[in-house]
Amino acid sequence: MALTGLQIYKLLPGSSKNAEVKKHANCKECGFPTCLAFAMKLAQKQVELAQCPYVEEEAKSQLEESAAPPIRLITLTAHGRKLEVGHETVMFRHDKTFYHQPGLFVKVKDTQADAVDIAKAVNNYWVDYVGMCLALDGLAIEADGGDFAATVATIAPLAASPDAGGGHLILLTEDPTLAEAGLQAAKNIRPLLYAATPTNWQAMAKLAVQYKVPLVVATPKGSSLDDLANLADQVRAAGVEDIVLDPGVRDSRGSVQVLTQLRRLALKKNERRLGYPTLAFANNDPILAAQHIAKYAGFVLFDQFSPATIYPLLVTRSNIFTDPQKPIQVQPGIYEINNPKPTSPLMVTTNFSITYFAVANEVESSGVPSWLLVADAEGMSVLTAWAAGKFDAERIAKSINSTGIADKLNHKRLIIPGHVAVLMGELEEALPGWDIKVGPREAVDLPNYLKLVANS
Report helix, strand or coil for 196.
strand
CB of 367 to other proteins, least distance (A): 14
- Kindly identify the residues of this chain, within the stretch 65-104, that bind other proteins according to CB under 8 A: 92-94
CB of 264 to other proteins, least distance (A): 4
Contact string 341-370 vs other proteins (x = CB under 8 A): -------------x---x------------
- Segment interacting with ligand B12, rule: CB under 6 A, options 48-56, 119-127, 201-209, 413-421: 413-421
CA distance 347 to 355: 13
Q: Does 384 bind ligand B12 (CB under 6 A)?
A: yes
Report helix, strand or coil for 107.
strand
CB 53 within 8 A of CB 44: no
Q: Does 439 bind ligand B12 (CB under 6 A)?
A: yes
Q: What angle do CA 316, 319, 325 make, to 5 degrees?
A: 160
CB of 365 to ligand B12, least distance (A): 13
Half-sphere exposure of 11 (CA within 13 A, CB side): 23
CB of 17 to ligand SF4, least distance (A): 14
Instruction: Give 151 or 381: the residue with its C-beta nearer to ligand B12.
Output: 381
| Secondary structure of 281-345 in HEC code, one letter for each residue | EEECCHHHHHHHHHCCCCEEEECCCCHHHHHHHHHHHHHHCCCCCCCCECCCEEEEECCCCCCCC
Report helix, strand or coil for 370.
strand
CB 132 within 8 A of CB 354: no
Interface residues with ligand SF4 (CB under 6 A)? 12-14, 24-30, 32, 35, 38, 52, 54
Pick one of ligand B12, other proteins, ligand SF4, none as the site partner of residue 15 (Cβ within 5 to 8 A by kind): none
CB 106 within 8 A of CB 136: yes
Q: Does 435 bind ligand B12 (CB under 6 A)?
A: no
Q: Does 271 bind other proteins (CB under 8 A)?
A: yes
CA distance 430 to 433: 9
Q: CB within 8 A of 374, min separation 6: which ones?
A: 330, 331, 332, 333, 334, 335, 348, 349, 350, 351, 356, 399
Q: What does the chain come to in residues?
A: 456
The number of beta carbons lying within 10 Å of the beta carbon of residue 157 is 14
Report helix, strand or coil for 174.
coil
Which one of 171, 262, 279, 354 is in contact with ligand B12 (CB under 6 A)?
354
Q: In the β-sheet with 333-337, what is the strand arrangement from edge to edge?
A: 333-337, 370-375, 346-350, 413-416, 435-438
Please work out the total of residues on this chain that contact ligand B12, with binding judged by CB under 6 A. 26
CB of 68 to ligand SF4, least distance (A): 20
- Segment interacting with ligand B12, rule: CB under 6 A, options 16-24, 174-182, 203-211, 354-362: 354-362
CB of 447 to ligand B12, least distance (A): 11
Pick one of other proteins, ligand SF4, ligand B12, none as the site partner of residue 52 (Cβ within 5 to 8 A by kind): ligand SF4
CB 216 within 8 A of CB 193: yes
Which one of 66, 151, 291, 349 is in contact with ligand B12 (CB under 6 A)?
349
Closest CB to ligand B12 belongs to which residue? Answer: 439
Contact string 294-323 vs other proteins (x = CB under 8 A): xx----------xxxxxxxx-xx--xx-x-
CB 169 within 8 A of CB 109: no
Instruction: Give 45 or 411: the residue with its C-beta nearer to ligand SF4.
Output: 45
CB of 420 to ligand B12, least distance (A): 8
Residue ranges that bind other proteins, judged by CB under 8 A: 92-94, 125-130, 224-226, 229, 251-253, 256-257, 260-261, 264-265, 268-269, 271, 274, 286-287, 290-291, 294-295, 306-313, 315-316, 319-320, 322, 324, 354, 358, 381, 387, 442-444
Residue ranges that bind ligand B12, judged by CB under 6 A: 327, 347, 349, 352, 354-355, 358-359, 379-384, 387-388, 415-419, 439-440, 442-443, 446
